[in-house]
Chain A
Amino acid sequence: MDIDGGHQPLCNEDGSVWAAFNGEIYNHAKLREDLRRRGHRFATNGDTEVLVHLYEEYGEAMVHALEGMFTFAIWDERARRLLLARDRFGEKPLFVHEHAGELLFASELTALLDVRPQLRELDADAIDAFFVFAYVPGPGTIVPGVRQLPPGHLLSWERDGAGVQERSWYSPPQRAVQRHESFASVAAEAKLLFEESVRTRLVADVPVGVFLSGGVDSTLVASVAARQSSQRLKTFTVGYDTGAVNETERARVVAARLGSEHHEVTLTQADVAARAPLVLSCLDQPLGDRAVLPLHALSEFARPRVTVALGGEGADELFGGYPRYRWLERARRVQATIPQAAISPLGGLLRHAARLPRAARASTRLAPTPVLERNVDWVTSERRHRREALYGPRLAGLDRGRVLRDVAARAGECNGGPAARWLMHLDQRHYLPDDVLVKTDRASMLVSLELRSVFLHAGLAELAGSLDTSLHLAGAGKALVHAMLGEGILPASRGGRYRKKAFRVPAAQWLRGPLAPAMRGQLEHGTIFEQGYFDRSAVGALVREHASSERDHSDQLWPILSLGLWADRFYGLDGS
């Protein structure tokens, strides 16, 4: 048996319980101490063995004792039963394949494909969904026959038994309740839980840092971590040598106010040219979130200095950080109060002026579109409407309505509550696990850095879910996060609070500069064009128009480039 606990699977004293594990259990030291007190004997220092003994003690209820990001498998030899579990928010992935009474599972899709090479083909519907969302929505995957265990779920399988059973073990409440408590006392409660979350995540016998963008989320993380850390906190920021957007100055001011040891890295255009093919092709599934590149660069830069970093992922989805929540709520009210006869001509006028981005957006808001479709169009830059023009013959015959139907099924019923609440809930189940957390997990794990999110804490998420949406969206949004931070740390911004811009990554410039050769390479011999998923001439025209700086088509080109680079590696055509 491996003394450090690195080798898996591990078993208990008599070999009746086996465990394999991926992730981090933040409270593992405490669990180990509790289990020892109860008479369990440990042979290793690793997290995996904690799971073995915890299962012996609590059975599948053990998941409720775990604080962390994880997926694990437990084999109970006596019961001839397998238990698979995924963490509350989906920070770690778990892929599953069932066929003829056989169950295969892995924390990486490629591991499953290595065992079953016949599965190595692409699912056209998943590619369609990927192009629309720029990520592969769970629980499906890019490969037919392989699915993901959803966040906060358990799966059990019994040999010769009832087969596979799946159930949710964690879903924060989503209905607001009338409260009598003051905003100040809610903010105090949130702060208490937030501090508890930082404390749990700082328990590491290794140096810890914070990824600091200068926005309110990471500033709150850094300010609490600076107070709790026994050593001087290290903070890290990434900037660019192109584009109008640079967060480094704000982060520098915050770091100075907190007294942290601050480090900056610049993601240069030359670096992007080398990094993009490497990162985008190495992901388990394609990912069109452009922020994966700076996050990877930042993780790589931080890794020699720290092995654990704290981040602010999840704050926008849980605490109402995206401006569209407010805007779409307003749009729904406008629709409900102004007669459609008046709205339609105005929307038509604006559509004529739609070359101006603001007019296009206003036109969308006024159109009589259901709020869910509006939301999808907003977050996807209306890519679903571009499919006809860009898809090749392999995607031509698809049911184009399926993407919206699937997202509607994930969203569930609005139940007459505020649209903003419904959309926040959808983002927590869709965008957060399938994009944000995939990005953070893969970008950091590619360089063996542990990125721990402070906001993804059970109590904090439950508190956020139980509050009126209006409370979250007060002011410029994320009112509770601002209240937890207080005044005096964030630099003042012109025109009030600092407003996060939707895209801070200079992807348009990169596609005209360092990534233009990769895009050209795709058009010339990329798998997705060779196999007829995308139309070469239509995408080529888009590339040329973008290159000439006439229009910014990065919203469409980035997902295509990401998918193309990934698919070449998937089919082994990238020379690897």
Chain B
Amino acid sequence: MASTAPSVRGRGKRPRLLILTPDFPPAPGGIQVVAHRLATGLTGFATSVVAPDVAGAARFDAQSGVRTRRVRGGGALRGGRNALLNAASLAHAASFRPDVTLSAHIVTSPAAAAIRATTRARTVQYFHAEEIGAKPRLAAFAANHADLSIAVSAYTAGLVAATGATPPRLEVIGNGTDVPSDATPLRAERPTILTIARIEERYKGHDALVRALALVLSKVPDAQWVVIGDGSLRPGLEQLAGSYGVAAATHFLGALDDEQRNVWLRRADVLAMPSRLPAGGFAGEGFGIAYLEAGAYGKPVVAGNVGGALDAVRDGETGLLVDPLDSLALAEAITTLLRDRERARRLGEAGRAWALQHAWPRVVERVEAVLLEQLDSAATSALS
């Protein structure tokens, strides 16, 4: 197999790329988006995806045009879902015979390593953030058994290094964003702060926004906070908004489809998501695609001055970075952007330019370049 890759390229056929991922649409989330944009965007490869079966998957796959092998079951046992996913990935690799395996999450790294050992396909491992803190030993294994590791931010690269891993090669390639066909601002009835994130992890900082909102409203009394996303912590946040007396200015909209979400991105004045670094080895925000998405709609952002947001937001240019536990600093940043329209516009415009630099096609281009480099180096080593 070691000589297959160059010969495939030499014959003019596209090399085969196998993407292994526990997260893939139609399930929502950042890693799902990354895996999907790579699968659809890496046009220089013949791509196949192995991913878990989820509700609505059949219809999604029928329309996506990506060859996707769905894996059912395993959810009843702890780790069972991932074990089945790895087993199915190995079985699929035997017939698909990939030139490159891209493991989109460390939980698929055992299969990627096994494929590498048995077929000598090049292996690329993606790193986000939270999973490294949760499973540092598996993360180190994944980095050590991949020919190339891709970290979505400098922060994430640091997390990989902190596991003690010695990856043969580590590249930082930030996440991307879709460029909207229509980003024309819509007029909201009230000054609008928008947050888009699942309400499942505390590090996203919804609670800090509740505390800040009480101060924001003293300066901008008609402001509203629109929260898109759902999760088990939502009822607690609703209670908190009540106890801070800001419930009337807060709207929890739950999970929305892309179209509805994009309407709010056009309406909002500022996107606020003050992600913080959790303690205890948990990693928090690896990048924060939502910041780029807001930029794509010309909206300024307010983010925490830690973690992946440092790569996703340019402080003072595309948004304002503040101490995510400091409600006063948060309130001041939000208030500034709601009241100083000119400054908000300037940051939004810069955010749009920044987002265009990170449009998915450009990000995918960078990924494709490093994948092809891998194939070339495989060919070189096979010939030498």
**Chain A contacts to B: CB under 8 angstroms:** 27, 30-31, 34, 58-62, 64-65, 169-173, 175, 177-181, 184-185, 187-189, 191-193, 195-196, 458-459, 462, 466
**Minimal Cβ-Cβ distance residue in A for B245:** A169
Interface CB pairs A-B, < 8 A, 30: A30-B326, A30-B328, A34-B329, A58-B219, A60-B218, A62-B218, A64-B215, A64-B244, A64-B327, A65-B328, A177-B233, A177-B235, A179-B232, A179-B233, A179-B236, A180-B200, A180-B231, A181-B200, A181-B201, A188-B279, A188-B281, A188-B282, A189-B278, A189-B279, A191-B280, A192-B276, A193-B325, A195-B279, A458-B211, A462-B240
Residues A61 and B218 in contact, CB atoms below 8 Å apart:
yes
Residues B240 and A173 in contact, CB atoms below 8 Å apart:
yes
Residues A181 and B280 in contact, CB atoms below 8 Å apart:
no
Known: A180-B200, A188-B281. A459 touches B207 (CB 8 A): yes
Q: Closest 4 interchain pairs by CB?
A: A188-B280, A61-B218, A173-B239, A192-B279
From B231, B239, B279, A191 is in contact (CB under 8 Å) with B279
Known: A34-B328, A181-B200. A466 touches B217 (CB 8 A): no
Task: Kindly list chain A residues whose C-beta atoms are within 8 Å of the C-beta of B331.
Answer: 65
Cβ contacts B254-294/A at 8 Å (1 or 0 each): 00000000000000000000001111111000000000000
Residues B207 and A177 in contact, CB atoms below 8 Å apart:
no
Residues B243 and A170 in contact, CB atoms below 8 Å apart:
yes
Known: A181-B202, A458-B211, A466-B239. 5 other contacts (CB 8 A): A34-B332, A179-B233, A180-B231, A188-B279, A195-B279
Nearest-Cβ distance from residue B27 to partner chain A, whole angstroms: 15
Q: CA separation between A34 and B235, bound complex, in Å? A: 33
**Main SS class of interface, A:** helix
Nearest-Cβ distance from residue B278 to partner chain A, whole angstroms: 5
Q: CA separation between A537 and B202, bound complex, in Å? A: 61
Which of A31, A177, A193, A195 counts the most chain B CB atoms within 10 A? A177
Task: Kindly list chain A residues whose C-beta atoms are within 8 Å of the C-beta of B281.
Answer: 188
Which of A170, A173, A187 counts the most chain B CB atoms within 10 A? A173
Residues A187 and B280 in contact, CB atoms below 8 Å apart:
yes
Task: Kindly list chain A residues whose C-beta atoms are within 8 Å of the C-beta of B242.
Answer: 173
B214 at the interface (CB under 8 A from A): yes
Known: A177-B233, A181-B201. A196 touches B280 (CB 8 A): no
**Minimal Cβ-Cβ distance residue in B for A199:** B325
**Minimal Cβ-Cβ distance residue in B for A458:** B211
Task: Kindly list chain A residues whose C-beta atoms are within 8 Å of the C-beta of B200.
Answer: 180-181
Residues A65 and B239 in contact, CB atoms below 8 Å apart:
no
Known: A59-B218, A180-B200. A185 touches B235 (CB 8 A): no
From A30, A172, A195, B243 is in contact (CB under 8 Å) with A172
**Main SS class of interface, B:** helix
Task: Kindly list chain B residues whose C-beta atoms are within 8 Å of the C-beta of A31.
Answer: 328
Known: A61-B215, A181-B232, A185-B282. A459 touches B245 (CB 8 A): no
Give B319-364 interface residues, CB cut-off 8 Å to A. Answer: 325-329, 331-332
Q: CA separation between A353 and B111, bound complex, in Å? A: 69
Residues B280 and A177 in contact, CB atoms below 8 Å apart:
no
Task: Kindly list chain A residues whose C-beta atoms are within 8 Å of the C-beta of B244.
Answer: 64, 170
Give B183-204 interface residues, CB cut-off 8 Å to A. Answer: 200-203
Q: CA separation between A195 and B325, bound complex, in Å? A: 11
**Minimal Cβ-Cβ distance residue in A for B219:** A58
Residues A173 and B243 in contact, CB atoms below 8 Å apart:
yes
Residues A466 and B282 in contact, CB atoms below 8 Å apart:
no
Task: Kindly list chain B residues whose C-beta atoms are within 8 Å of the C-beta of A180.
Answer: 200, 231-232
Known: A170-B243, A177-B236. A64 touches B214 (CB 8 A): yes
Q: CA separation between A388 and B242, bound complex, in Å? A: 45
Residues A65 and B215 in contact, CB atoms below 8 Å apart:
yes
Task: Kindly list chain A residues whose C-beta atoms are within 8 Å of the C-beta of B201.
Answer: 181, 185
Residues A65 and B327 in contact, CB atoms below 8 Å apart:
yes
Q: CA separation between A178 and B234, bound complex, in Å? A: 10
**Minimal Cβ-Cβ distance residue in B for A173:** B239
Q: CA separation between A491 and B232, bound complex, in Å? A: 38
Q: CA separation between A173 and B245, bound complex, in Å? A: 12
Residues A61 and B279 in contact, CB atoms below 8 Å apart:
no
Nearest-Cβ distance from residue B346 to partner chain A, whole angstroms: 20
Which of A175, A192, A196 counts the most chain B CB atoms within 10 A? A192
Nearest-Cβ distance from residue B255 to partner chain A, whole angstroms: 15
Task: Kindly list chain A residues whose C-beta atoms are within 8 Å of the C-beta of B231.
Answer: 180
Q: CA separation between A59 and B217, bound complex, in Å? A: 11
From A58, A177, A184, B218 is in contact (CB under 8 Å) with A58
Residues A466 and B214 in contact, CB atoms below 8 Å apart:
no
**Minimal Cβ-Cβ distance residue in B for A152:** B243
**Minimal Cβ-Cβ distance residue in B for A186:** B202
Nearest-Cβ distance from residue A103 to partner chain B, whole angstroms: 24
Known: A58-B219, A192-B278. A462 touches B207 (CB 8 A): yes
Nearest-Cβ distance from residue A70 to partner chain B, whole angstroms: 16
Cβ contacts B100-121/A at 8 Å (1 or 0 each): 0000000000000000000000
**Minimal Cβ-Cβ distance residue in A for B328:** A65
Known: A64-B211, A196-B325, A458-B211. A188 touches B243 (CB 8 A): no
Task: Kindly list chain B residues whose C-beta atoms are within 8 Å of the C-beta of A173.
Answer: 236, 239-240, 242-243
Nearest-Cβ distance from residue A224 to partner chain B, whole angstroms: 11
Residues B280 and A459 in contact, CB atoms below 8 Å apart:
no
Q: CA separation between A195 and B280, bound complex, in Å? A: 12
Q: CA separation between A62 and B243, bound complex, in Å? A: 16
Q: CA separation between A268 and B245, bound complex, in Å? A: 50
From A177, A179, A189, B239 is in contact (CB under 8 Å) with A177
**Minimal Cβ-Cβ distance residue in B for A190:** B279
Q: CA separation between A169 and B244, bound complex, in Å? A: 7
**Minimal Cβ-Cβ distance residue in A for B278:** A188
Task: Kindly list chain A residues whose C-beta atoms are within 8 Å of the C-beta of B332.
Answer: 34
Known: A173-B236, A177-B239, A179-B233. A185 touches B278 (CB 8 A): yes
Task: Kindly list chain B residues whose C-beta atoms are within 8 Å of the C-beta of A62.
Answer: 218
Q: CA separation between A60 and B280, bound complex, in Å? A: 37
Q: CA separation between A169 and B215, bound complex, in Å? A: 12
Nearest-Cβ distance from residue A152 to partner chain B, whole angstroms: 9
Q: CA separation between A173 and B281, bound complex, in Å? A: 27
Cβ contacts B203-214/A at 8 Å (1 or 0 each): 100010001001
Task: Kindly list chain A residues whose C-beta atoms are within 8 Å of the C-beta of B233.
Answer: 177, 179, 181
